[in-house]
Amino acid sequence: MLVFIGGTGLNQLPGFKVNHELAIATPYQDAPVIIACGNVGDCDQEIGFLPRHGTGHTLPPHRINYRANLFAIREAGAGAVIAVNAVGGIHAELGPGVIAVPDQIIDYTHSRAHTFFDGQLTGIDSPDQFSATVTHVDFTEPYDGNLRNLLISSAQDIDVPVWPQGVYGATQGPRLETPAEIRRLQRDGCDMVGMTGMPEAGLARELSLPYASIALSVNWGAGLSDDVITMEGIRRVLARGMGNIQAILLRAAERYHA
């Protein structure tokens, strides 16, 4: 199964025919994680869909239970995860409406439960799962290369331009950045800034789940244009840009082979 994690502007997947919902218990929260399963378009590939902000978009980035979500996705038997992220553009080519498939991450988040290997037993019984041992996963390539290629070639297939790389700077939020913070991210080499890329990608790696992101720039980073960043402006770009993201996801589902 290929699982899509929906972000801001993608709480639902148009054309997605849900045939059942999985309610998966995890050690990380009382409520089960709900993953909708079904198919998109005419494609046979089973798709799972999990909106990370909740179905009513009620969870801010720092309150999302990333561990519960990733744990549940693995329990559901996912072979791969494609995450959708709304971002602010920092690189000159990543203005509002541009889609990117990032290849690197810098993590500026804090105070989030960001690892399964917490140095203590997590209440999971199975001995092959996480334990009190100290583990450091390799994160040289934070996004899965095959999945990135799938996204890039799926976009090419349907003539949607995408920026095929980029450094994703993950900030804590929920407030937007100051211009000085954006300049710092720029100096660090960030091409885009978002609030949900981490710890999600790192947790997927800890579970050995192939994971990639498709990011839609919905505004210029603070101070990079004269416009004040408003939710209204962001919503307008989302409304225009999500159609292309959905088309890429549909094509990726058609081309994906486990």
219 near ligand HPA, judged by CB under 6 A: yes
Output the smallest distance, CB 195 to ligand HPA, in A: 5
47-51/29-40 β-pairing: antiparallel
- Which CB, 13 or 195, lies closer to ligand HPA? 195
Which position among 34, 43, 160, 176 is part of the footprint of ligand HPA (CB under 6 A)? 176
Which position among 87, 98, 100, 242 is part of the footprint of ligand HPA (CB under 6 A)? 87
- Residue 21 has a CB neighbour count (10 Å cut-off) of 14
Q: How far apart are CA 28 and CA 49, in angstroms?
A: 19
Residue range at the interface with ligand HPA (CB under 6 A); choices 41-49, 84-92, 134-142, 247-255? 84-92
Of residues 152-171, those binding ligand HPA (CB under 6 A): 171
Which position among 40, 86, 201, 249 is part of the footprint of ligand HPA (CB under 6 A)? 86
Residue 195 contacts residue 85 (beta carbons within 8 Å): no
194 near ligand HPA, judged by CB under 6 A: yes
59 near ligand HPA, judged by CB under 6 A: no
Q: Which residues contact 140 (CB under 8 A, 6 or more apart)?
A: none
Beta bridge partners of 81: 3, 211
Output the smallest distance, CB 177 to ligand HPA, in A: 6
197 near ligand HPA, judged by CB under 6 A: no
- Which CB, 18 or 231, lies closer to ligand HPA? 231
H or E element that contains 145: helix 145-157
81 closest CA partner among 114, 49, 41, 115 = 49
The b-or-e profile of 58-73 (16+ CB within 10 A means b, else e) is eeebeebbbbbbbbbb
- Which CB, 64 or 218, lies closer to ligand HPA? 218
Q: What is the contact surface with ligand HPA in residues (CB under 6 A)?
A: 86-88, 171, 176-177, 193-195, 218-219, 221
